[in-house]
Amino acid sequence: MQKSTRNIYTIIMPVPTPEQFAAMLDKAQAGDYALASINVTSSTTLNAALAAFAETKTDGIIQFSTGGSEFASGPIKDMAVGAIAMAEYVHRIAKDLPCFVALTTDHCVPNKVDKFVRPLVAESKSRAAAGLQPLFNGHMFDGSELSMKDNMATAAELLREMAPLGIILEVEAGLVGGEEDGIDNSGAHHDKLYTSPEDMVFVQDCLGEIGRFTLAATFGNVHGVYKPGNVKLTPTILRDGNAAVKSKYGKTLDLVFHGGSGSLLSEIHESLEYGVIKMNVDTDCQYHYSRPIVDHVMKSYDGMLRIDGEMGDKKTYDPRAYMKKGEAGMKARVIQAATELRSLGISLA
């Protein structure tokens, strides 16, 4: 990457530099909108998200979970290698897009940090030493299973490694209920599902002087699949927590919304007013990718299979035939997410 003294907004690099990613978050906070952060597990789901952002000229985020990354690594089943491979794919494929696409990782619980987050940070350090930008813009540490003290102690340790690279750490205080990608909080105690103002202040106490971070504060949000209205959110928890932080520090926190499936649009919009600048979208994208494929198979059953000595229809069972439909379905859901989060068509590029 050539160095330049020009304004960061004039340098088109679809995977943003640390400075550009920080500017993306700042603009979202100032504009009361959030960036859609899309979980992917493969090149074809990556393409769906990239197509959505590119077609609408919308800045967004692509993120990789531990399970999704392990799946993407194929037979070696190495979550760090899978995440690195997918991130490098984005750096290459997205280089000519008319928008910025940031790269982050999703929930990483304490016992997976050494085989996921730390190897990815090491990869970014190697790139920086070679004069390149970090591979990732952010990583998430989910220490919500720990005490707040231990959670923030590990978070602080990780942020000290990331901050010199300009990588942003996402942390969680409180538990997002339900189950997703092997993280099961379906039996969590009611009180754990709500982050207190004291918790939010404590996060700022522990991390504020080290580097930039975002907080996945919980306000009744739940991972999984629910009909609209079945998830009972209390967005005012975010308002009250950020008010407490501002009272002590004169600033508010950048917040992340997890477990948004089944949330009412009015609740999503209310959360944007209280500091949410990033919202994760996973479950709904999985469904909207799979639904057109099911339709293709059911309507083309005879062509998909070689039945009674026939040869089927190669154009029908060619994986590209149905994966293109899956990508189109997921692309539409990503565009819907950006629309609901009020970020559609907004880009620093």
Q: CB–CB of 261/291 below 8 Å?
A: no
Residue type, 287: Y
Q: Report whether pLDDT(11) > 50.
A: no
Q: What is the pLDDT of residue 349?
A: 85
CA–CA separation, 43 and 52 (whole Å): 14
Of 194, 191, 256, 261, the residue nearest 223 (C-alpha): 261
Active site residues: 106
Q: What is the pLDDT of residue 231?
A: 54
**Tens-digit pLDDT profile for residues 118-130:** 999 999 999 999 9
Q: What is the mean pLDDT of the chain?
A: 90
**Tens-digit pLDDT profile for residues 14-69:** 999 999 999 999 999 999 999 999 999 999 999 999 999 999 999 999 999 999 99
Strand arrangement of the beta sheet that strand 177-180 belongs to: 183-185, 177-180, 222-223
What burial letters (b/e) apply to 164-187, b meaning 16+ CB within 10 Å?
A: ebbbbbbbbbbbbbbebbebebee
Q: What angle do CA 290, 94, 30 make, to 5 degrees?
A: 90
Concatenated DSSP letters of 26-63: HHHHHHT--EEEEE--SHHHHHHHHHHHHHHT--EEEE
Helices marked H in 106-196: 117-129, 148-162
The answer regarding whether domain 13-340 maps to CATH 3.20.20.70 reads yes
The secondary structure of residue 107, as a DSSP letter, is -
| pLDDT range class, residue 1, cuts 50, 70, 90 | very low
CA–CA separation, 217 and 203 (whole Å): 10
CA–CA separation, 231 and 219 (whole Å): 10
| pLDDT range class, residue 115, cuts 50, 70, 90 | very high
What percent of the chain stands above pLDDT 90?
A: 80
The model's pTM is: 0.90
**Tens-digit pLDDT profile for residues 75-112:** 999 999 999 999 999 999 999 999 999 999 999 999 99
Q: What is the pLDDT of residue 232?
A: 72
Phi, psi values for residue 229, rounded to 5°? 95, -15
The encoded tokens of residue 174 equal 């409180």
Run of H or E residues at 206: helix 197-207
Q: CB–CB of 310/240 below 8 Å?
A: no
Q: CB–CB of 85/73 below 8 Å?
A: yes
What percent of the chain stands above pLDDT 70?
A: 87
Of 178, 191, 187, the residue nearest 259 (C-alpha): 178
Instruction: Report the relative pairing of strands 255-257 and 276-281 from DSSP bridges.
Output: parallel
CA–CA separation, 276 and 40 (whole Å): 21
Crossing angle (nearest 10°) for helices 283-299 and 319-340: 140
The more confidently predicted of residues 327 and 234 is 327
